[in-house]
């Protein structure tokens, strides 16, 4: 017979505690859904119907107004934070690539195999252009699975320079934080707080590191060069202004927005040691050992491996979101230094644990905010619905 467990002097745990936690989580989700839904209904009504709110009652209008006040406050707060971040990071001038002239030194940027297949043109405006043609794409790009391609892009030396530049940046931020703390001057308190905010965000964004030129180069000459040739379905899926006029089609194919950043992976053991040193600048670059299945907030993502001496850290690919994406159907890619992987942002993907070394990636999210995201509602965009019934479409406008 099983021995009766001792309960004397033991804390009593309610059998309903787990149920209460679950109920609290469900309640939180309901409130969050209500806030978003109420704001969307309010925006749609105000946009489409004269005197829309006159048919509401005062209590509901107060609730809508309160939700928008909260959202506006959040927008203002994050806008101010971003302005403060740029004020701080504009002081970063020591980066190895800060004054790098990539136009005159493009041979020191691109992988030799890339230069063999893609013609580089320096025009009268002093800008660099990559001439992508179907021969270059067929020779350079390897289709790993449907919608996903890998290709050599950056040379070894330039990859190492980007990594070094990134580490210079995080050291600069750490030193700046410590310097302001020691000075203790009243006028520096706000800047110190903003520096600590930057450290807490744990992001190495290219624009913050004076690498906006690299962001623009990768968007305009790499991602757009490829996307306009082989990702038409991702750029046209619900575009109601598609025309047979080549000039119109070329305009609506372009991606116009980019967000590039560095992200570092180490083993769990190394991360634990790193986190115990609160002043370690590595805390801004090395954030994780693995990454769970996810999709990106982008139309197209460019993923470039910058290091080579690491073990684990395989890129696992699944299907496209809302297109039979499954965590069971997988394809593995072993990332190679200097090689890029380009894929739709809605591709479900993950990273296996890094067990040794440093895995540092340069990620660029690219969006079309001109023709895609201003023609369909967020729901249609996320679910890739291509019907004509979207509330942002012609039928409702």
Domains of the chain: 82-368 (2.60.120.10)
d(CA 148, CA 346) in angstroms, rounded, equals 11
Q: How far is CA 153 from CA 131, 218, 226, 337, in A?
A: 14, 10, 12, 9
Confidence (pLDDT) at 5: 37
Check whether 7 has a pLDDT greater than 60.
Answer: no
Check whether 203 has a pLDDT greater than 90.
Answer: no
Nearest partner of 309 among 349, 342, 265, 341, judged by Cα: 265
d(CA 352, CA 335) in angstroms, rounded, equals 11
pLDDT digits (tens, 9 = 90+) for 178-199: 775 455 566 567 777 777 778 7
Name, in order, each residue with C-beta under 8 angstroms of 67's C-beta and a sequence gap of 6 or more. Answer: 35, 38, 39
Rounded average pLDDT over 286-305: 93
- The 3-class SS string of the chain reads CCCCCCCCCCCCCCCCHHHHHHHHHHHHHHHHHHHHHHHHHHHHHHHHCCCHHHHCCHHHHHHHHHHHHHHHHHHHHHHHHHHHHHHHHCCCCCCCCCCCCCCCCHHHCECHHHHHHCEEEECCCCCEEEECCHHHHHHHCEEEECCEEEEECECHHHHHHHHHHHHHHHHHHHHHHHHHHHHCCHHHHHHHHHHHHHHHHCCEEHHHHCCHHHHHHHHHHHHHHHHHHHCHHHHHCCCCCCCCCHHHHHHHHCCCEEEEEEEEECCHHHHHHHHHCCCCHHHHCEEECCEEEECCCCCEEEEEECCCCEEECCEEEEEECCEECCCCCCEEECCCCCEEEEEECCEEEEECCEEEECEEEEEEEEECCCCCCCCCCHHHHHHCCCCCCCCCCHHHC
pTM of the model: 0.84
Check whether 251 has a pLDDT greater than 80.
Answer: no
d(CA 318, CA 288) in angstroms, rounded, equals 21
Confidence (pLDDT) at 26: 58
pLDDT digits (tens, 9 = 90+) for 130-161: 999 888 899 999 999 989 999 999 999 999 99
Confidence (pLDDT) at 15: 45
Check whether 9 has a pLDDT greater than 50.
Answer: no
Confidence (pLDDT) at 176: 81
Greatest CA separation for the chain:
91
Confidence (pLDDT) at 58: 97
User: CB count, 10 Å around CB of 381?
Assistant: 18
pLDDT digits (tens, 9 = 90+) for 12-38: 444 444 555 555 555 666 567 888 899
Confidence (pLDDT) at 227: 92
Nearest partner of 264 among 251, 253, 278, 280, judged by Cα: 280
């Amino acid at each position: 017979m099983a021995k009766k467990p001792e309960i004397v002097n033991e804390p009593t745990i309610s059998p309903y505690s787990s149920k209460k936690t679950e109920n609290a989580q469900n309640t939180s989700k309901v409130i969050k859904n209500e806030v978003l839904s109420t704001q969307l209904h309010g925006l749609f009504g105000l946009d489409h119907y004269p005197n829309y709110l006159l048919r509401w009652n005062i209590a509901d209008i107060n609730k809508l107004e309160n939700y928008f006040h909260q959202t506006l406050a959040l927008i203002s707060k994050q806008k101010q934070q971003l302005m403060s971040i740029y004020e701080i990071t504009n002081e970063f001038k020591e980066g190895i690539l800060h004054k790098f002239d990539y136009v005159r030194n493009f041979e020191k940027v691109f992988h030799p195999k890339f230069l063999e297949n893609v013609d580089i043109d320096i025009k009268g405006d002093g800008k660099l252009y990559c001439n992508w043609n179907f021969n270059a794409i067929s020779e350079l790009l390897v289709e790993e699975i449907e919608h996903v391609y890998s290709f050599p892009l950056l040379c070894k030396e330039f990859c190492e320079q980007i990594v070094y530049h990134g580490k210079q940046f995080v050291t600069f931020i750490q030193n700046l934080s410590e310097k302001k703390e020691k000075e203790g001057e009243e006028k520096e308190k706000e800047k110190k707080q903003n520096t600590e905010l930057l450290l807490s965000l744990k992001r190495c964004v290219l624009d913050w590191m004076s690498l906006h030129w690299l962001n623009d180069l990768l968007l305009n000459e790499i991602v757009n060069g490829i996307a306009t040739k082989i990702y038409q379905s991702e750029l046209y899926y619900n575009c109601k202004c598609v025309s047979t006029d080549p000039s119109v089609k070329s305009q609506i194919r372009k991606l116009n927005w980019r967000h590039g950043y560095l992200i570092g992976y180490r083993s769990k053991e190394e991360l634990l040691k790193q986190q115990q040193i609160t002043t370690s600048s590595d805390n801004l670059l090395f954030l994780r050992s693995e990454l769970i299945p996810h999709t990106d907030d982008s139309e197209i993502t460019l993923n470039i491996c910058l290091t080579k001496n690491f073990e684990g850290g395989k890129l696992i690919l699944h299907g496209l979101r809302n297109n039979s994406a499954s965590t069971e159907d997988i394809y593995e890619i072993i990332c190679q230094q200097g090689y890029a992987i380009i894929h739709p942002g809605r591709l479900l993907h993950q990273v296996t644990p890094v067990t040794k070394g440093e895995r540092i990636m340069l990620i660029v999210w690219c969006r079309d905010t001109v023709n895609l995201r201003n023609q369909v509602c967020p729901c249609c965009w996320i679910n890739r619905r291509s019907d004509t019934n979207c509330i942002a479409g012609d039928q409702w406008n």
